Amino acid sequence: MTLEDALAAGAFEPDLSLWDAWSPEEVARRLEGLRPPWYVAGGWAIELFLGEQLREHEDLEIAVPRERFPEIADALAEFELFVPGRDLTGRSLVWPLAEAPDALERHHQTWVREPPTGQWRLDVFREPSSRDTWIFRRDERIRLPYSAVIERSDGGIPYSRPELVLLFKAKRPEEPKNEADLAAVLPRLDRARRSWLAEALALVHPGHPWLEGI
């Protein structure tokens, strides 16, 4: 899609300096009682597993089965929802959710904006699934029941098991934060979790540099 087409569809360049993400506790409060198997993803999931915050975060990501996303949208009806993506030149854009059927199919993220402040509060991942089975977005051969995907913090916040987070982060092993997360999590994983991660890495990223240490 050209920039002109995107702008005609209501897209605009987001001001990334306005990211002021909620905490996992705030998201859990706002989604309390919601039945979809939503859970905290990304770096925050690592820290919920570890029980401590390792660094500052620019955003907060949660994930939900794609077909259950409307329930998340209903729970956040007081906020504005946008689909982030890029035009043909690589320019970062966001499309209003209601005006973005094509962008919704091409991209898995949805950003949540607070109308009074214009601040971005949350990034919702719409993930592939089959009934109660989670499907890895980057390789559908990797599947798990949601009961094996989601854990809960001492405060009851649902989060992705850390070995799944590391599998996503393995796409960019050179990033310092991903290396730091691996170093922090790996000593805390038992043999079964290490074996699962090693097998998944070997399947998705043969010869990955992390395999030697796992």
Range of the domain at 13: 3-160
Per-residue pLDDT of the chain (214 residues; tens, 9 = 90+): 554 455 546 889 999 999 999 999 999 999 998 988 999 999 999 999 999 998 889 899 999 999 999 999 999 999 999 999 887 888 889 999 988 766 667 789 999 999 999 999 999 999 999 999 999 999 999 999 999 999 999 999 999 999 999 999 999 999 999 999 999 999 999 999 999 999 999 999 999 999 999 9
Residues 169 and 135 in one domain: no
Residues 20 and 103 in one domain: yes
Backbone Cα Rg of the chain? 18
Q: Are 139 and 203 in contact (CB under 8 A)?
A: yes
Residues 209 and 142 in one domain: no
Residues 83 and 143 in one domain: yes
How many domains does the structure of the chain reveal? Answer: 2
- Kindly state the tokens that stand for 32: 């309390």
Residues 139 and 200 in one domain: no
Residues 25 and 68 in one domain: yes
Nearest one of 108, 214, 109 to 163, comparing CA atoms: 214
Residues 187 and 154 in one domain: no
